[in-house]
């Protein structure tokens, strides 16, 4: 008999929640409950998605029970209390990024889920991007040889808006600017491709928007392996921009969404007589790729015990640790060892 569809609750029904809901449906799960204190938004989503139960307080959702797993798609300050409540109710958690803004709180989330025997997956969905997944597989199979440099970029311009979206525009509501928002995804990808990071050196600037937070940032990274990395994040791009470039002793991978249909280009040298400019090249295309949906499928398969977790609470915590180290570095204008990252956001 096929397993019954898992029953899902979604906490926070704002912008990103649509990806979660669609991903669960595509994976054959059932969204049975929603929670959001903004009652108008809550009722509108309940109608739009035809969901039976809706709560203005997520604790009532857990009290009512009959849920296998939740997505936390609410602001970052809600991630810890919602995760702790889920663990206490024996419910698996897919938590949006960043896991938390405080290392102690993040560790408490990890401990609570481990003690309760529930899965905690963090929504660094770029790990589930077709190009990133293939790149990771090629790195692990040694296709690129020894990794020497990892370059990552995520940038946008708030869809051309003249202002940053309100919930992202102040330190009080968001905790940080582009270095936190886009940077935690990039920090996670850096570890995914290049393994653990030893030291970061960051610069931040506010160059376009009238906000108290940085809208432009870059980070120089030294991995434990000795390889180097550069991370660029910005709200000062033009349009949506995502890319990674991974260089190894035996070849390079190049991915960007900026040149028409996204593809991953693998450059290598096996043919004799190739020039300085020309190399052997293979290309991989990813039409129809849906990272969020693949990430949600991985979450459900982890719950069902058919695969290893793709992005654990520990992975989410390390991404936060790297962001905290980067803010500290930008503040001090000096390199900061990751082991000396502050435990919470102080800038
Ligand atoms: N994975 C990604 O690429 C990605 C992209 C965008 C946002 N995010 C993350 O998702 C989270 C939400 O971002 P968003 O863009 O959807 O924000 P949003 O402001 O559009 O939506 C957040 C929703 O959470 C609700 N909320 C606030 N307090 C709550 C509580 N106590 N319980 C339940 N709901 C509550 C708000 O009313 C709102 O409807 C953030 O942590 C953000 O960093 C991740």
Our CA angle for 303, 305, 310, nearest 5°, is 70
Would you call 306 exposed, middle or buried from its count of C-beta atoms within 10 A (0-12, 13-18, 19+)? exposed
Q: What is the pLDDT of residue 81?
A: 97
Q: Whose CA is nearest to atom 32 of ligand 1?
A: 36
As a whole number, mean pLDDT of residues 41-61 equals 98
Q: Yes or no: say if 96 and 15 are a contact pair by the CB < 8 Å rule.
A: no
Taking only the tens place, the pLDDT of each residue in 9-34 is: 999 999 999 999 999 999 999 999 99
> Can you tell me the mean pLDDT for 307-313?
97
15 CA from centroid of ligand 1 (Å): 7
Average pLDDT, the chain: 95
User: How confident is residue 338, by pLDDT bands cut at 50, 70 and 90?
Assistant: very high
Q: Is 126 helix (H, G, I), strand (E, B) or coil?
A: helix
Q: Which residues line ligand 1 (CB under 6 A)?
A: 11-17, 35-38, 41, 58, 73-76, 78, 96-97, 123, 125, 167
Atom of ligand 1 nearest to the CA of 167: 19
What is the predicted pLDDT for the residue at 89? 98
Question: Over pLDDT 90: what percentage of the chain?
Answer: 89
Give the pLDDT confidence score for residue 105 in this predicted structure: 96
Can you tell me whether residue 73 is helix, strand or coil?
coil
Report the separation in Å between the CA atom of 94 and the middle of ligand 1, taken as the mean of its atom positions. Answer: 13
With the most atoms of ligand 1 within 8 angstroms of its CB, the residue from 75, 121, 173 to mutate is: 75
User: Rounded mean pLDDT of 57-63?
Assistant: 98
Give which of 38, 41, 42, 40 is closest to 9, Cα–Cα: 42
Alpha carbon distances (Å) from 48 to 9, 29, 104, 254: 15, 17, 38, 40
Residue having the nearest C-alpha atom to atom 31 of ligand 1? 78
Q: What is the pLDDT of residues 254-304, one digit of tens each?
A: 999 988 788 899 999 999 888 998 999 999 998 777 999 999 999 999 999
Q: Note the pLDDT of residue 244.
A: 98
Residues 179 and 211: their CA atoms lie apart, in Å, by 14
Query: 43-52, 167-176, 316-325: lowest mean pLDDT where?
Result: 167-176
With a cut of 70, say whether residue 2 has pLDDT above it. Answer: no
Counting ligand 1 atoms within 8 A of each CB, the residue from 10, 12, 82, 170 with the most, and so the one to mutate, is 12
- Which residue has its alpha carbon closest to ligand 1 atom 18? 14
Nearest atom (ligand 1) to Cα of 17:
16
Whose C-alpha lies nearest to ligand 1, atom 1?
123
Q: What is the mean pLDDT of residues 152-168?
A: 94
pLDDT at 171 over 90: no
Q: For the chain, how many residues are written?
A: 347
DSSP 3-state assignment of 200?
A: strand
Q: What is the DSSP code (8-state) at residue 145? A: -
CA atoms within 13 A on the CB side of 161: 10
> How confident is the model over 220-248, as pLDDT tens digits?
999 999 999 999 999 999 999 999 999 99
**Dihedral angle over CA of 51, 55, 60, 64, nearest 10:** -20
What is the whole-number distance in angstroms between the Cα of residue 16 and the centre of ligand 1?
A: 6
Q: What is the pLDDT at residue 183?
A: 98
Testing ligand 1's pocket by substitution, the residue of 59, 73, 128, 290 carrying the most ligand atoms inside 8 A of its CB is 73
pLDDT for 1 equals 58
Question: Cβ(144)–Cβ(249) under 8 Å?
Answer: yes
What pLDDT score was predicted for residue 345? 83
Average the pLDDT over 184-204 and give the result: 98
Residue in 268, 246, 243, 278 with CA at minimum distance from that of residue 258? 243
30 C-beta neighbours (distance < 10 Å), count: 15
Q: Whose C-alpha lies nearest to ligand 1, atom 6?
A: 16
Phi and psi torsions of 98, nearest 5°:
-70, 150
Strand partners, 248: 147, 251
* pLDDT, position 151: 98
In angstroms, rounded to a whole number, what is the distance separating the alpha carbons of residues 47 and 54? 10
pLDDT > 70 in the chain, percent? 99
Distance 172 CA to ligand 1 centre (A): 15
Q: Contact 296/24 with Cβ under 8 angstroms? A: yes
Cα 58 to averaged position of ligand 1 atoms, centre (Å): 14
pTM of model > 0.75: yes
CB within 8 Å of 14: residues ≥ 6 apart: 36, 41, 73, 74
The stretches of the chain forming alpha helices (DSSP H) are 17-26, 39-49, 58-64, 76-88, 103-116, 130-140, 166-169, 171-174, 178-181, 183-194, 291-303, 313-332
Gap from CA of 99 to ligand 1 centroid (Å): 12
Query: Domains of the chain by range and CATH?
Result: 7-118 (3.40.50.720), 126-290+320-340 (3.30.360.10)
């Amino acid at each position: 008999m096929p397993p019954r569809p898992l029953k899902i609750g979604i906490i926070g029904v704002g912008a990103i929640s649509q990806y979660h809901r669609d991903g669960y449906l595509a994976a054959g799960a059932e969204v049975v409950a929603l929670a959001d204190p903004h009652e108008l938004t809550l009722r509108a989503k309940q109608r739009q998605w035809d969901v039976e139960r809706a709560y203005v307080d997520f604790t009532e959702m857990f009290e009512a029970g009959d849920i296998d797993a939740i997505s936390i798609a609410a602001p970052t300050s809600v991630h810890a209390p919602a995760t702790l409540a889920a663990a206490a109710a024996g419910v698996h958690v897919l938590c949006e990024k960043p896991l938390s803004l405080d290392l102690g709180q993040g560790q408490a989330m990890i401990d609570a889920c481990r003690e309760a025997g529930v899965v905690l997956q963090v929504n660094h969905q770029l790990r589930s991007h077709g190009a990133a997944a293939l790149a990771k597989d090629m790195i692990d199979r040694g296709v690129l040889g020894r990794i020497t440099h990892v370059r990552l970029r995520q940038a946008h311009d708030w869809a051309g808006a003249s202002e940053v979206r309100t919930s992202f525009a102040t330190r009080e509501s968001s905790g940080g600017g582009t270095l936190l928002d886009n940077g935690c995804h990039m920090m996670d990808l850096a570890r995914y491709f290049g393994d653990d990071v030893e030291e970061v050196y960051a610069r931040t600037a506010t160059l376009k928007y009238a906000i108290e937070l940085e809208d432009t940032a870059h980070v120089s990274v030294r991995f434990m392996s000795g390889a180097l990395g550069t991370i660029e994040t910005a709200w000062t791009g033009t349009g949506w921009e995502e890319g990674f470039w991974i260089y190894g002793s035996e070849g390079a991978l190049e991915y960007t969404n900026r040149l028409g249909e996204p593809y991953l280009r693998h450059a290598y040298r096996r043919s004799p007589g190739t020039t300085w400019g020309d190399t052997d090249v293979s290309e991989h295309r990813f039409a129809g790729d849906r990272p969020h949906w693949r990430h949600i499928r991985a979450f459900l398969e982890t719950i069902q015990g058919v695969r290893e977790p793709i992005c654990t609470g520990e992975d989410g915590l390390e991404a936060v640790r790297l962001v905290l180290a980067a803010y500290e570095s930008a503040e001090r204008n000096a390199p900061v060892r990751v082991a000396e990252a502050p435990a919470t956001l102080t800038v």
